[in-house]
């Protein structure tokens, strides 16, 4: 059993206007960002969003990648009585039970940096650039398009999901948020419109190409291969342990056989990761030139 927290107080919504993510406080008065089960199920990944987010983030933690901590948070009736607005649809429609909590960190996102025209500065102060390779490898492994991928639609960057935390004056540490679309979102129920969105039929391209990773030369083949070797060491029992931490309320609709299939697919994909990394990173200088040419 991993971390189980008890919500003792409520602060407010994370962002003005987005009422579905709320900040709660645990027994140590530490802030956690909580998305209600009801609102999580309305996203692309539907019933699997919470499962995906929890399992993928715990897997990333296993590989020591820069992701915020996740936990299971118990929201009690006593708290909902004190803050009745949380039950309403506008505040995410919370009900008593277990919800997914992500540790709240204060800092800036890439979009804030871009808006302030400070991406250069942000890039210069980041101290954990090597971990960018790990994120790209991990996103490719789990088929997570949430951060950035180059699809037929062209370059797409989710700037709000790259987060910079201030450690000491002059030093930033980047972190990636958003793992609810790992295992390509709703990995089984989706209709056959896009074949890459089916379980085990994941794209054979690198994902997680943030422009800042590529332009800033943060990606490096040695570091990528080091991370590939690391994730190949992950065993079925490691993954099963993580899946067993997931509360039953989050996986009611997911049959055991599907989970089994997902885990086996992950292990199978891990063995083929080296080829993808080699192919893609060899092409990187060319692609960089393309991007520089683009206005």
- What residues between 126 and 155 interact with another protein by CB under 8 A? 126-127
Beta-carbon count within 10 A of 13 CB: 17
Choose the stretch contacting another protein; rule: CB under 8 A; options: 73-81, 143-151, 264-272, 281-289.
Answer: 73-81
Beta carbons within 8 Å of 40's beta carbon, 6+ residues apart: 49, 50, 53, 100, 180
Query: In the complex with another protein, which residue's Cβ is closer, 42 or 124?
Result: 124
Q: Where would I find the H helices in the chain?
A: 37-40, 49-62, 77-82, 110-115, 119-125, 131-142, 211-215, 221-232, 236-245, 256-271, 273-282, 284-293
Choose the stretch contacting another protein; rule: CB under 8 A; options: 1-9, 50-58, 157-165, 186-194.
Answer: 1-9
Based on the shown chain and the rule CB under 8 A, indicate whether residue 30 belongs to the binding site for another protein. Answer: yes
Query: In the complex with another protein, which residue's Cβ is closer, 163 or 202?
Result: 163
Choose the stretch contacting another protein; rule: CB under 8 A; options: 13-21, 71-79, 188-196, 256-264.
Answer: 71-79
d(CA 273, CA 275): 6
Beta carbons within 8 Å of 138's beta carbon, 6+ residues apart: 59, 60, 63, 65, 144, 208, 227, 231
Choose the stretch contacting another protein; rule: CB under 8 A; options: 78-86, 137-145, 187-195, 239-247.
Answer: 78-86
Nearest distance, CB of residue 66 and another protein, angstroms:
16
Q: Of the candidates 138, 150, 202, which has an alpha carbon nearest to the alpha carbon of residue 175?
A: 138
Q: Are 68 and 62 in contact (CB under 8 A)?
A: no
Based on the shown chain and the rule CB under 8 A, indicate whether residue 29 belongs to the binding site for another protein. Answer: yes
Based on the shown chain and the rule CB under 8 A, indicate whether residue 82 belongs to the binding site for another protein. Answer: yes
Return the SS3 of 262. Answer: helix
Based on the shown chain and the rule CB under 8 A, indicate whether residue 229 belongs to the binding site for another protein. Answer: no
Nearest distance, CB of residue 261 and another protein, angstroms:
40
Query: In the complex with another protein, which residue's Cβ is closer, 9 or 196?
Result: 9
Choose the stretch contacting another protein; rule: CB under 8 A; options: 121-129, 191-199, 205-213, 220-228.
Answer: 121-129
How many Cα atoms are found within 13 Å in the side-chain-facing hemisphere of 71? 19
Based on the shown chain and the rule CB under 8 A, indicate whether residue 114 belongs to the binding site for another protein. Answer: no
User: Of the candidates 25, 221, 230, 284, which one interacts with another protein according to CB under 8 A?
Assistant: 25
CA dist 255 → 91, 226, 261 (Å):
30, 34, 10
User: Of the candidates 1, 16, 17, 28, which one interacts with another protein according to CB under 8 A?
Assistant: 28
User: Using CB under 8 A as the criterion, which residues of the chain lie in contact with another protein when the complex forms?
Assistant: 6-10, 25, 27-30, 76, 78-79, 82-83, 124-127, 168-172
């Amino acid at each position: 059993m991993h971390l189980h927290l008890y919500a003792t107080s409520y602060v407010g919504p994370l962002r003005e206007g987005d009422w579905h993510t709320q900040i709660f406080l645990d027994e140590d008065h530490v802030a956690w960002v909580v998305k209600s089960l009801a609102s999580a199920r309305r996203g692309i990944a539907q019933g699997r969003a919470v499962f995906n987010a929890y399992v993928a983030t715990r897997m990333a933690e296993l590989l020591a990648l820069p992701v915020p901590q996740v936990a299971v948070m118990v929201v009690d009736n006593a708290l909902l009585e004190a803050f009745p607005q949380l039950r309403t649809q506008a505040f995410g429609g919370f009900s008593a039970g277990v919800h997914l909590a992500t540790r709240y960190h204060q800092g800036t996102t890439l979009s804030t940096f871009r808006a302030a025209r400070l991406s250069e500065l942000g890039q210069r102060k980041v101290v954990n650039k090597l971990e960018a390779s790990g994120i790209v490898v991990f996103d490719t492994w789990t088929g997570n398009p949430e951060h950035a991928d180059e699809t037929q639609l062209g370059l797409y960057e989710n700037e709000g999901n790259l987060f910079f935390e201030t450690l000491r004056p002059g030093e930033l540490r980047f972190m990636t948020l958003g793992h609810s679309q790992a295992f390509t979102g709703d990995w089984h129920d989706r209709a056959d419109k896009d074949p890459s969105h089916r379980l085990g039929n994941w794209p054979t391209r690198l994902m997680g190409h943030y422009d800042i990773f590529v332009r800033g030369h943060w990606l490096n083949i040695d570091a990528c291969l080091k991370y590939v070797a690391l994730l190949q060491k992950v065993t079925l029992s490691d993954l099963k342990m993580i899946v067993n931490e997931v509360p039953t309320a989050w996986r009611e609709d997911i049959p055991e056989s599907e989970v089994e299939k997902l885990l086996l697919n992950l292990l199978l994909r891990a063995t083929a990761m080296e080829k993808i990394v080699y192919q893609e990173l060899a092409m990187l200088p060319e692609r960089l030139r393309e991007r520089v040419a683009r206005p």
